[in-house]
Amino acid sequence: MKRQAARRLTIFAIVIFMGLYGGCAKKELQPTAPGPGVPRITNFRIEPPVVDRGGEVTLQFDFRDIDGDILDVYLGLKREVADFTLSTGLRHTIISRGRYLGQTEGTAEETITISIERGSAPLRSQSRGFEGGAVDPDRQREEVGGTRVYEVFVIDKRGQVSNRLRARVTVR
């Protein structure tokens, strides 16, 4: 009897753990295999490629979607190197919703503000701190510079995810 109760308790604990663990897991949107109606992007670039802290840059990429149903443009910070501090794996954020709906091909253009500071935000709507080691606390925020690698992709109304492209910008 005690053995059966212990077994039930163990199974219950495993089920609860798996439910919580699965709910907290980071879901990464994977690109949809190429095919009819799946959006594709090419030629991702950031202008200017070198920017002062707090400056604005223009993100541009070419897109093609036969259905003309691109709904969201996502941007993520894949890697950041600032004064020997490395951050990776930051969550993707929607930077445009519905702006390219109805267009079958063209050039997408979005503007963002870029800064590299301790506790800075890579996008206007997202806040975060550096992961990993800290920047020298004696340095002023205005002195921190580095390189960022951004990744972009789009999703259409049917939930199909385009390929992903990366580009870098240097912040001085």
Q: What is the pLDDT of residues 24-38, one digit of tens each?
A: 444 567 888 888 889
Q: Is the pLDDT of residue 166 over 80?
A: yes
Q: How much is the pTM? A: 0.66
Q: Which fold has domain 29-171?
A: Immunoglobulin-like (2.60.40)
Q: What is the pLDDT of residues 28-70, one digit of tens each?
A: 678 888 888 899 999 999 999 999 888 999 999 999 999 999 9
Residue 117 sits at φ, ψ, to 5 deg, of: -145, 160
Report CA-CA distances (Å) from 44 to 77, 108, 133, 169: 14, 9, 30, 12
Q: Comparing 172 with 47, which gets the higher pLDDT?
A: 47
